[in-house]
Amino acid sequence: MAEEHDAVEVIAVKRDRGELDDAQIDWVVDAYTRGVVADEQMSALAMAVVLNGMSRREVGRWTAAMIATGERLDFSGLSRRTVDKHSTGGVGDKITLPLAPLVASCGVAVPQLSGRGLGHTGGTLDKLESIPGWRAELSNEEMLHRLEEVGAVVCAAGAGLAPADRKLYALRDVTGTVESIPLIASSIMSKKIAEGTGALVLDVKVGSGAFMKRLDDARELARTMVELGADSDVTTVALLTDMSTPLGLAVGNALEVREAVEVLAGGGPDDVVRLTLALAREMLAAAGVDDLDPADRLRDGSAMNVWRRMVSAQGGDPDAELPVAPVTHTAAAGSSGVLTRLDALAVGVAAWRLGAGRARKEDPVSAGAGVALHAKPGDAVRAGQPLLTLHADDPGRFPRAMQALDGAFDIEPENTPYTPPPLVIERVAAGVP
């Protein structure tokens, strides 16, 4: 059968800064998924979008066209309301691990379809897979069952959800076309809308360790995603949060699971606890629950109970010893004073080079590798005191990881005033200018 459009014509419209009409968008997204539009044609179009952008209408239509290439899950038969959270990715961002069981312990179901890490940001599934026995792959039926029984599921997104995005994201990854607000927004929101969640809270990271280094770009990304959610009747709210320094004191798969369990036990680093609670409050509000304080559920152990059931329901042993890397190397403070900067990107790249992340999507990750932080910006430090401990399976990993940390921190003289950046910078919701 003859195709209704021609790929070169569609590419030329965007190349020449024109707007694609609805029929062109529907066709190109569908034809790419069917293999009729070739990878080299889609990469040319993606690059034209990176350079020339998309109008609000185009992003909405592009998102809808990606959703239409696959299935849509339906949670309407569940007895609980559903709310999901998505983070645009950061260093030490283990928030999903305490957050999903915490929100579920307040009576709301959390379907969290997650990904694996690529580059310097870790993936939630890689972290959970460091728990002996835990498995990420669930059928749609198993997922619904776990949601009803336990209330929280973190699992791999099935191949049936927005297959256009799966194919396009892999292409963007190798053609320098990830960094585009319309492409990122449509990629994230097509998966979340197809997943069928009733409400969504976005954690849009800003700073050196994030996709969006500048506040203005993060704000635009957040606004675009919030509007896409509203168009599809998914109540969507975004928090812009700081990613100039790692979250918490642990970066790496098993290291982060250990820290998440500390938070669920009522302890853990202050920033991780605060961000978990801020996102939990937004998720509960978006699901219409306004009479519960999630902090109580961390204190009284109910979030921990859901965590244990959530891990066991997917084959994991919540009591198992987590893997520990066999070798460590310490980076010490060169002088005494106040730590005023500890760069998120540098720590993320170091953890990645230690084996916690992967360079290609088929690479394995090390469960034990990563970086443990012994001080955070604002802390007083003494010369010679350990600042970071590097963990790896093989000592050959240390030199390149140490290179990544070159210039990653500043120590200023004692009494230098230090004002921490706000953890939650801004809230973006539909209809709020």
Catalytic residues: 86, 165, 172, 187, 191
Q: Does 221 bind ligand URA (CB under 6 A)?
A: no
Return the closest-CA partner of residue 188 out of 303, 85, 104.
85
Q: How far is the CB of 385 from ligand URA (least distance, A)?
A: 37
Contact, 89 vs 205, CB < 8 A? Answer: yes
Q: How far is the CB of 165 from ligand URA (least distance, A)?
A: 7
Q: Which residue's CB is nearer to ligand URA, number 90 or number 248?
A: 90
Distance (Å, whole) CA 93 – CA 238:
16
121 binds ligand URA (CB under 6 A): no
Q: Assess 75 for contact with ligand URA (CB under 6 A).
A: no
The three-class DSSP label of residue 357 is coil
Q: Does 62 participate in binding ligand URA (rule CB under 6 A)? A: no
Q: Are the beta carbons of 276 and 303 closer than 8 angstroms?
A: no
Please report whether residue 184 would count as binding ligand URA according to CB under 6 A: yes
- Residue 305, number of CB atoms within 10 A of its CB: 16
* Per CB under 6 A, 188 contacts ligand URA: yes
Do the Cβ atoms of 110 and 152 come closer than 8 Å?
yes
Please state the closest distance from residue 186 (CB atom) to ligand URA, in A: 8
Closer residue to ligand URA, CB minimum distance, 113 or 342: 113
For residues 229 and 430, the answer to whether their CB atoms sit within 8 Å is: yes
Nearer to ligand URA, 180 or 302 (CB): 180
Binding segment (CB under 6 A) for ligand URA, from list 40-48, 179-187, 214-222, 298-306: 179-187
Which of residues 20 and 221 has its CB atom nearest to ligand URA in the complex?
Answer: 221
Helices 163-173 and 22-34, interaxial angle, to 10°? Answer: 80
Rank residues 170 and 359 by Cβ distance to ligand URA and give the closer one. 170
* 218 is a site residue for ligand URA (CB under 6 A): no
Strands 380-381 and 337-342: antiparallel
Closer residue to ligand URA, CB minimum distance, 115 or 132:
115
Residue 148 CB partners (closer than 8 Å, separation 6+): 78, 79, 80, 109
Tell me the closest approach of the beta carbon of residue 169 to ligand URA, in angstroms.
Answer: 5
Strands of the 199-206 sheet, one edge to the other? 83-87, 199-206, 235-242, 424-429
Specify the residue, 13 or 178, whose C-beta has the smaller distance to ligand URA.
178
Match 């998924």 to its residue by tokens: 33
| Binding status of residue 169 toward ligand URA by CB under 6 A | yes
Q: How far apart are CA 277 and CA 275, in angstroms?
A: 5
| Residue position matching structure tokens 């952008």 | 53
Size of the residue set binding ligand URA (CB under 6 A): 6
Cβ–Cβ under 8 Å, residues 273 and 281: no
Q: Cβ(148)–Cβ(79) under 8 Å? A: yes
Q: Which of 82, 105, 114, 187 binds ligand URA (CB under 6 A)?
A: 187
Using the rule CB under 6 A, give the single segment among 177-185, 235-243, 276-284, 346-354 that binds ligand URA. Answer: 177-185
**Residue 131, token pair as written in the block:** 């728990």
Which region, judged by CB under 6 A, interacts with ligand URA, from 176-184, 281-289, 312-320, 367-375? 176-184
- Which residue's Cβ has the minimum distance to ligand URA? 187
Tell me which residues touch ligand URA (CB under 6 A).
169, 178, 183-184, 187-188
